[in-house]
Structure 1
Amino acid sequence: MEVKKAGASLDSVISLFNRRIAELQDLVIARNMYPATSVTDLSAVDAAVKTMELQVQAIKDRLRDETLAIPKAKKLIDAAVKQQKKLQDLSSYAPSHIPERMSMLGLDTNRCLFPEGSQQNTGFGSLKLEEVPAALPKEKKGRSTPPLWFITAEELDSLSGYMRGRLTVEKINAAINDMATYAEANSQLISAPKKRVAGDSWEKALELRDIAMTEAVKGKHFFLETDMKGPALKPDNTGKAILTVLRHLGRVSETRIGPHRVIILLKRH
């Protein structure tokens, strides 16, 4: 019995050995069939596996960095959105077009302060003011400029439809710019000395000074209804509607002094 068992075990070992040899032969045949793609030895396989592991690790590191950067990117996006909203709110306060105040003011003030045909004597003869442009009178120290308190789209939308009419934020803010120009011209005319005021404007300068000394107007910037000569604010139905809106929104107040309707510019609270 023991001899039979030993023989069976030997046959089993021989069978396994033959099977392993057959597998190796198949592998050799397969390698010879595809010599270009076969791996010559296990060291080459190990090197290829290590290279792939390094690539996989690099991909994992990149994914980790991108994941960590996502919260920072979200914060930047939120900050950009907030900044955009602030800029939109600020842009609603300014009109789409602001006329050149000083150029208009310079022309009007020169007409009032210097009579046409007046001359300026120098050591080399006389030159007309048309040839040598006259400088605007220097402002007194401490004199403030007229307030430019523009309205917003939200303020205009808060009004009733019949009060808004066809008015737009741009039209109203352009009118506010005109009002500041009128008030600045009056302020310069009030403070100008008599020798620098044209003869036909001296009477208006005296009237403006009397108005400026009244209790309702003292220390404030103002203009008269007769000053409303455009380009945006005129004494027509649109101009009256604009003044109504601005009174309601607290930008101006009105009073009557003698024959004049006086519009006072109010400052931001």
Structure 2
Amino acid sequence: MDVKQAVYPASSVTDLSAVDTTLKAMELQLQQIKDRLREETLAIPKAKEKKGRGSAPLWYITANELDSLSSYMRGRLTLDKINAAIGDMAAYAEANAQLMTAPRKKLTESNLEKALEIREIGTTEGVKGKHFFLENDVKGPTLKLDNTGKAIFTVLRHLGRLSESRIGHHRVFVLLRPH
């Protein structure tokens, strides 16, 4: 009998991998919280001047939520890939929120057109007051519009973390609070 089999019964190996995946996701979330706190600490003097809706939410999914999906929907997605994509989505939404609240004088000519478009989208019903990003914003590093990225969007829509709509010629994704 192998030493590993004697110490860890076969039935507990999957339990350990689920615990390991959850632990990695929690460590990633903790690191992002630390980074955000560090940024907020550095930005305290500027905080009084800022207006807007606050930073974009990072509502990560859990191993149980991923396991609740059917296998065809999950495919080869891992908890780490999905949660890293959620971090990217929050960054896109944060960038759009900053564009919406930026004074017109401080915008460059190239950013002004996008800012006006974002502001217009941000005032529409269903998007107003929420964090959102456009399909055009998706550029990586983790989330791309390839097959894996499309599968991640499907999973997040199914879990209620994301809604999608068309506004004008844009495909708009709104970050939603988990229920």
* 1:261 paired residue number: 171
Which of 72, 88, 94 lines up with 2:26 in the alignment? 94
Amino acid across the alignment from 2:178: R
Q: Secondary structure at the match of 1:166?
A: coil
Q: Secondary structure at the match of 1:184?
A: helix
Which of 59, 63, 87 lines up with 1:177 in the alignment? 87
Amino acid across the alignment from 2:137: D
Matched, 1:167 2:99: no
Matched, 1:227 2:159: no
Amino acid across the alignment from 2:81: K
CA shift, 1:268, in A, is 3.5
Which of 124, 127, 141 lines up with 1:214 in the alignment? 124
Measured against aligned partners, the alpha-carbon deviations of 1:49-106 in whole angstroms (never above 9, x if no partner) come to xxxxxxxxxxxxxxxxxxxxxxxxxxxxxxxxxxxxxx9897375364767977xx9x
Q: Secondary structure at the match of 1:264?
A: strand
Unaligned runs of 5+ in 1: 1-86, 106-136
Q: CA, structure 1 residues 92+249, in 2 after alignment: closer, same or farther (shift >3 Å)? A: farther
Amino acid across the alignment from 1:248: H
Which of 47, 53, 76 lines up with 1:143 in the alignment? 53
Amino acid across the alignment from 1:226: N
Distance 2:52 2:113 in 1: 26
Q: Secondary structure at the match of 1:253?
A: strand
* 2:64 paired residue number: 154
**Structure 1 residue runs of 4 or more that deviate by more than 2 Å after TM superposition:** 87-102, 137-144
Q: Secondary structure at the match of 2:26?
A: coil
Whether the aligned pair in 2 keeps the contact of 1:95 and 1:169 (CA below 8 Å) is no
Distance 1:199 1:142 in 2: 22
Distance 1:249 1:256 in 2: 20
CA shift, 1:235, in A, is 1.2
Which of 133, 144, 147 lines up with 1:237 in the alignment? 147
Measured against aligned partners, the alpha-carbon deviations of 1:220-262 in whole angstroms (never above 9, x if no partner) come to 0000011111111111111111000000001110110011000
Matched, 1:200 2:110: yes
Distance 2:141 2:27 in 1: 14
Aligned length: 150
> Which structure carries more relative contact order (alpha carbon 8 Å, separation 6+)?
2
Distance 1:213 1:178 in 2: 23
